[in-house]
Amino acid sequence: MKNIFKLMAVVAVASLAFTSCNCFKKMAKNQDEVKVTCTPEVLTLNNGKVEVDITVNFPVKYYNKKAVLKVTPVMVFEGGMVEGTTHYFQGSKVDENYTVIDKKTGGEYTQHVEFPYDARMAQSELKLLVEVKCPKGKCKEFTLVNTNTGAIPTKEEQAILAAGGAEADALKAAFAYPLAKGVNTLQADLDYADAMANTANNYKNVTTVVTKADILYAINSSYVSKKAANTEDLQAFKENVIATQSNDRASQKLYVNGYASPDGPEKFNDKLSSARSKSGHKAAEKLLKETGMGLDAASYGEDWEGFKELVAASDIEDKDLILQVLSRYDSSTQREAEIKNMSAVFSALKKEILPKLRRAQLINSTDIKGKTDAEMAALINSGRLDELTNEELLYMAESVLEDCKAKVAVLEYAAKKYNDARAYNNLGVVLAQLGENAQSLAAFEKASQLGLNNNELNNNLALANLANGNVAKAQQYAAAASAETKSLIAAAQGSYSAAASTLKGYNAAIASTLNNDLAAAKKAIAAEATAEADYLRAVIASKEGDLETAKAQLKSAVAKDAALAAKAVKDVNLANLFASGFKL
């Protein structure tokens, strides 16, 4: 609480300097009883705004019945000044529609003022501009009063005020009455990027490629005819095996599996598939002799899975009915009986499907190992991004690269080349980590436009809007957001107690500090060794009055991140530390 209106005493002095405003001469009496309070005493950033309640208490027998005061709250900072809502006070005999202060009873008035936050306000002053006039006297226009000296503007100063601009603002600031210094911007230190998440990529360092070719048999036969052993499919299979042998990243495994078509007795077909496995293996060894590769052999009896695949891919009438039979019965005998009952259908099956299942199938399962992390990093460093696939680019940005600027370059390339929503989402995360909040939000919005719709993006959109000060917009994503994101939205709205109970680590410490629970804040970052954690420990220690710890922690923070030095000298939370004579 302050005796403002030191400024009122000043006004009285000023009124003596220009008799045209003689309605203020009597207001000097009982001047020390005029009080002004500012709540909070240390201004605080909340939800993109700086809010304050200014309360003025006028004593009895103080206010001149014919006087008018014009009081304007202003935020003054280097390079500018922002004016808040003006309020007017009048005596009981003034014919205006302002707040009346009765001389007989005095009065109290509270004004709520909001300023949209400007980063320059971190080092600022909340002041009151005071202007006076006497509507029924000769002073009919508001006249600015220097609340520090009692002087009214000289002719030269009046000319400056009339011209407007930066010089006029500076003069007004010099005339204004100081109420509070600085803005606690700790809320802006909430790390929204830390809660953001990438969309997973589909990168695999080892991919498996499977090629197949069939040796076909006559019904009930396991004999491999010369024609069956020399088909184009088998020759192509052989050529693929030979070509793959020259790939030092490839590892091939060859198999021969014998099958029987699912018609006839099941036991007979089991033996038949085994015989086909053996004869097929012998024919495959001959085919692939020059490769020097061995083949594993196995038999699988009746090939119901192959039957199902071929029917599903066919144009056979009533194929859906056939597939229903397969799903309804597990017994081979029941399946065969039901299908044979559909005589017209079974005729088509005997012609189009069953002959293809009388086979020994050659299978080449090849594991192809992709580029190593080092190889992909070398391509990125040399600018040869076009030699990497989309999945490789996404993988490298998420799991290998450490430099955020390198990640941005890779993801921007992937996003533009492949127009991939995942790349835009992941780009948004990295941009947020770099503090490029507007660009980060734009990247997330692009991912949404491309159709990405998952929990990660929903949370990221909420968090990016918070980082850009769009708290109301962030709230639109809250319903489907994670508990962590909901808590960060609550913290951005000033609900620190609720947020601190859910958040962890650095963000929990921020919320607890703003909730004035310094013990909980210290506990939340006890295990963290980042520059930001050291800086916050300095703030906490400064609030506790432990300036030695504050000094040590701030020095540690600046050693890890030199940019924090400039922030510290403007931080109202560290004002007492620097006031003690501490220097970085």
CA distance 8 to 57: 12
Two tokens, residue 492: 């951005």
Looking at the fold, whether 495 and 397 belong to one and the same domain comes out as yes
Domain assignment present for 195: no
Nearest CA to 534 out of 189, 19, 110, 53 is that of 189
Compute the distance between CA of residue 491 and CA of residue 191 in angstroms, rounded to an integer: 11
My answer on whether 68 and 82 are in the same domain is yes
Residue 198 lies in a domain: no
Q: Kindly state whether residues 168 and 237 are assigned to the same domain.
A: no
508 and 485 in a common domain = yes
Based on the fold, state whether residues 264 and 332 are members of the same structural domain: yes
Distance CA 193, CA 170 (A): 38
387, part of any domain:
yes
Distances in whole angstroms, Cα of residue 86 to Cα of each of 62, 73, 129, 489, 500? 22, 7, 9, 32, 37
Per-residue confidence (pLDDT) for residue 177, from 0 to 100? 86
Torsion of CA 449, 450, 453, 454, to 10 degrees: -120
Q: Measure the CA–CA gap between 45 and 479, rounded to whole angstroms.
A: 25
DSSP element (H, E) containing 418: helix 404-418
pLDDT score recorded for residue 535: 97
354 with 431, same domain: the answer is no
CATH number, domain of 495, equals 1.25.40.10
Whether 133 is covered by a domain: the verdict is yes
The whole-angstrom separation of Cα 422 and Cα 277 is 46
Quick check: is 545 in a domain? Answer: yes
Burial per residue of 307-346, b for 16 or more beta-carbon CB atoms within 10 angstroms, e otherwise: beebbeeeebeebeebeebbeeeeebeebbebbeebeebb
Exposed/middle/buried for 428, CB within 10 Å: 0-12, 13-18, 19+?
Answer: buried
Pairing of strands 143-144, 80-83: unpaired
Q: Of 184, 215, 231, which residue constitutes the final position of a domain?
A: 184
Asked whether residue 444 falls in the same domain as residue 357, the answer is: no
pLDDT for the residue 460 = 98
CATH for 341 = 3.30.1330.60
**Final residue of a structural domain among 184, 218, 252:** 184
Same-domain pairing of 364 and 409: no
Asked if 195 and 464 count as a contact pair (C-beta separation under 8 A), the reply is no
Domain carrying residue 523: 373-579
Query: Residue 26: its pLDDT value, please?
Result: 65
Q: How many domains does the chain have?
A: 3
pLDDT at 33: 74
Dihedrals φ, ψ of 98, to 5°?
A: -100, 180
pLDDT computed for residue 64 by the predictor = 85
Strands (E), 427-533: none
Q: Is residue 330 part of a domain?
A: yes
> Rounded to an integer, what distance in angstroms lies between the CA atom of residue 508 and that of residue 185?
16
Q: Do residues 365 and 381 share a domain?
A: no
DSSP string for 63-125: S-TT-EEEEEEEEEETTEEEE---EEEE-TT--SSSEE-BTTTBEEEEEEEEEE--GGGGSEE
CA atoms within 13 A on the CB side of 497: 0
> Domain for residue 194, yes or no?
no
Residue at 242 is within a domain: yes
- Fill in the DSSP letter of residue 33: G
- Report yes or no: 359 and 222 within 8 Å, Cβ to Cβ: no
Same domain, 343 and 456: no
**Which 3 state secondary structure label does DSSP give 165?**
coil
* Tens digits of pLDDT across the chain (584 residues): 555 445 444 444 444 444 345 666 666 455 567 788 899 988 999 988 999 999 999 888 888 888 898 999 999 998 889 999 999 999 999 999 999 999 889 889 999 999 999 888 888 999 999 888 888 877 788 888 887 776 778 899 999 999 999 899 999 999 998 899 999 999 999 999 999 999 999 999 999 999 999 999 999 999 999 999 999 999 999 999 999 999 999 999 999 999 999 988 999 999 999 999 999 999 999 999 999 999 999 999 999 999 999 999 998 888 888 888 888 888 888 888 888 887 778 888 888 999 999 999 999 999 999 999 999 999 999 999 999 999 999 999 999 999 999 999 999 999 999 999 999 999 999 999 999 999 999 999 999 999 999 999 999 999 999 999 999 999 999 999 999 999 999 999 999 998 999 999 999 999 999 999 999 999 999 999 999 999 999 999 999 999 999 999 999 999 999 999 999 999 999 999 999 999 98
Could you tell me if 396 and 363 lie in one domain?
A: no
Q: Do 429 and 565 lie in a common domain?
A: yes
